Structure 1
């Protein structure tokens, strides 16, 4: 039996990816170079400042999921969190880049506190948002369609925010960029909140037992563990690539425009192939598609090493391969998560969907935070020289090599590791054999 959602709900839900995609992209792209090249913070300390607030979300996200599981708001179990937490995130993002630029210690402290606030607000937006598909529909194929819409919007958002935020920062300054990005986040928040009004819900009873009990039950689910670990390792790989874009453009390709072109090369193919990944899932299954998409990630990331030789065209081709893989590596796991959560709810009769998504988003956040942290360690090992905004330095060859390896070989190795982890996911076989469509 097919239970399609209204197109309005699909579009409305997908608009939330404007907020998640913007906040997931811009800090990973600009925050580390802002700290090292504008404020003058050492690469190692800058990596800690970028990582620590995101690591806090690892603790907070499951709590946010449990709180949303217990919500009885008349406007819906999850929707009220979207507008409250999302608009708070938008305001705090603008604040983060509106602080002093000197002395360096004060500027760094300002960023750290504001980023911690952003991470906290994001937890209470992202977790209920990601939990919604498991309650919007019970249909196996409809969840893939819902995620296809979401990933298309996500890819467009990455293109828009990733390509334009650096331009705004260069032309108007980081404070103006902060306001610009805050407006994008707010538009996505309000769009998802308004677009999902009146959407169907299929809630189950809130699970009994303590929060620790629920965490143990979620952690004991083998399918969830497999797809979560795969997704987290891939998030770290993607986060490492994102953290390296600005450094590659400036120090390897010697072109500020390369920052934008890399994003166009990355996102353009993703927009084209996302509907094809949905078709693949319909015929071959989600796990098979996820594995193939990961293969594209591995090959594309390894080929990014061409940036070290200054081969700009080949670097863009490699970025396009990464984009093809990235589209599938978003569609499939984000459709597999509600499958796992809904299967657990059906078998247990209890609602742990928020806990599942809280742990999931905690893992994703950790992975994306690890990316810049890993890249900062690679920069430190290579002897990268930090500077302030009005000083230009020439990086040593060791730093240039570190940038290239951190941008290519290291994330490719992480993506290859994730393929091994994916082998533990078995739920897809059972759901397809039952023809839950």
Structure 2
């Protein structure tokens, strides 16, 4: 069963919402806390991390709820609409100007708001990821489906990664930026909800297992666990890199405007090379393609530590961006294959639970990234509130932006050798 281009585009539009929420907090929430609200860097790193830890427990629950749901509009789509619209509203609230006048009070407000955002996002992201295993049962069509999704994700990251800092620095501040991103989340939500209205469901099987039994099934699926571990480790590295872009521009390059250029260099190649990675996956397999992308990313971003200056820096970030497209296409294309094999073996619907565990790992990994970077800033002696930064801070920023992502992505190449999924 294959899906039409119209449904493929509709499904891809959901990545405007997921890309916006995955990018902006990782990019600007830490600077918002340290420089706007004067929260100490180490404390800010914890505040960014703790709300996301909630997803580790809650995302599988959201998946189980969507697996059990029955609705005339389909089991997943109502969650997309409600979760996405709630996420947009809560995101705008999270970046309100200082309300309490103290770093502790304002930091707590951000942490609570972020927790609420994470909960709403779970009810959007988990059903959204689960749909990939249900829209088509064709091995190569899934790669095409995910390729379109990654292209939309690249657009969202480019718009948010380059545009959000511009809006913040243009005079509107964090509030205007948050409202614009919230609007993009609404567009993505309505796009996927309307665009998948006529989408087929490849398999409809009853869900009979209880939640603990489904978690046991997840633990028993070695390919899923290895792929998840790989993806989470890489998410930590990518989250660390994203958190470092703002600081690299301001502290190391001493050019805040460089942030937009770096983000464009990192994300824009994905719009061109996603079809190339699709060809690689078709010819040599998804796992091999994933390994090639991982090596290319680790080498290119690792070299930044030796040349943290323009214009070579932009070139290295651009090569890393080419690899980043592969890091998104292949794991998300392999996941539905593994889910399908497990569902056929068990005879029950498990897409939601598997997707819930997957997204829990992803969000935790992306949250750990800023937490790791915040810890490095603290060790380097970062002065919150815009003070003069010492040489230790410059070293911490470069290490967080380059060395940490390179090492984390590089160590996963061996893990992928043991990951096997459904073949076409």
- Same fold per TM (> 0.5)? yes
Sort the Cα spacing of 1:313 and 1:103 in 2 relative to 1 into closer, same or farther, 3 A: same
Counterpart selection for 1:19 from 17, 40, 45? 17
Superposition pairs of residues 34-45 of structure 1, within 5 angstroms: 34-45=32-43
CA distance in 2: counterparts of 1:170 and 1:35, whole angstroms: 16
> Which residue pairs with 1:418 in the alignment?
412
Shift in Å, 1:306: 4.2
> Which residue pairs with 2:402 in the alignment?
408
CA distance in 2: counterparts of 1:268 and 1:68, whole angstroms: 34
**Aligned residues between the structures:** 422
**CA deviation digits over 1:306-363, x for unaligned, max 9?**
454xx21111111111111110011000010010101111122111111110000000
Counterpart selection for 2:316 from 315, 318, 321? 318
CA contact (8 A) 1:46 1:376 kept: yes
CA distance in 2: counterparts of 1:143 and 1:209, whole angstroms: 26
Range with bigger deviation, 170-179 or 358-367: 170-179
CA distance in 1: counterparts of 2:195 and 2:213, whole angstroms: 35
Residue 392 of structure 2 is aligned to residue 398 of structure 1: yes
Structure 1 residues not aligned, in runs of 5+: none
CA distance in 1: counterparts of 2:421 and 2:162, whole angstroms: 38
CA distance in 1: counterparts of 2:291 and 2:357, whole angstroms: 22
> Which residue pairs with 2:123 in the alignment?
124
Shift in Å, 1:269: 1.4
> Which residue pairs with 1:270 in the alignment?
270
Shift in Å, 1:78: 0.5
**CA deviation digits over 1:177-230, x for unaligned, max 9?**
111110011100000000000100123334323211110111210110111111
CA distance in 2: counterparts of 1:111 and 1:347, whole angstroms: 44
CA distance in 2: counterparts of 1:190 and 1:33, whole angstroms: 30
> Which residue pairs with 1:230 in the alignment?
230
> Which residue pairs with 1:112 in the alignment?
111
Query: Considering only aligned residues, what root-mean-square deviation do their CA atoms show, in Å?
Result: 1.1
> Which residue pairs with 2:302 in the alignment?
302
CA contact (8 A) 2:52 2:367 kept: yes
Shift in Å, 1:421: 1.7
CA distance in 1: counterparts of 2:26 and 2:306, whole angstroms: 22
CA distance in 1: counterparts of 2:398 and 2:178, whole angstroms: 28
Range with bigger deviation, 197-206 or 149-158: 197-206
CA contact (8 A) 2:289 2:326 kept: yes
Structure 2 residues not aligned, in runs of 5+: none
Residue 274 of structure 2 is aligned to residue 280 of structure 1: no
CA contact (8 A) 1:299 1:321 kept: no
> Which residue pairs with 2:137 in the alignment?
138
**CA deviation digits over 1:115-150, x for unaligned, max 9?**
111000000000000000111111000000000100
Residue 76 of structure 2 is aligned to residue 82 of structure 1: no
Could you say what secondary structure the match of 2:311 adopts? helix
Could you say what secondary structure the match of 1:395 adopts? coil
**CA deviation digits over 1:11-58, x for unaligned, max 9?**
000000000000000000000011011111011110111011111011
Superposition pairs of residues 148-167 of structure 1, within 5 angstroms: 148-167=147-166
CA contact (8 A) 2:2 2:137 kept: no
**CA deviation digits over 1:407-428, x for unaligned, max 9?**
1011111011111221220225
> Which residue pairs with 1:386 in the alignment?
384
**CA deviation digits over 1:149-180, x for unaligned, max 9?**
00011111111111010111112111111111
CA distance in 1: counterparts of 2:84 and 2:401, whole angstroms: 31
CA contact (8 A) 1:99 1:111 kept: no
Shift in Å, 1:296: 1.3
Shift in Å, 1:365: 0.5
**CA deviation digits over 1:261-284, x for unaligned, max 9?**
001111121211110000111111
CA contact (8 A) 1:238 1:371 kept: yes
Superposition pairs of residues 52-71 of structure 1, within 5 angstroms: 52-71=50-69
CA distance in 2: counterparts of 1:18 and 1:268, whole angstroms: 15
> Which residue pairs with 2:342 in the alignment?
344
CA contact (8 A) 1:165 1:177 kept: yes
Instruction: Report the TM-score when normalising by structure 1.
Output: 0.95
Residue 344 of structure 2 is aligned to residue 331 of structure 1: no
CA distance in 2: counterparts of 1:89 and 1:269, whole angstroms: 28
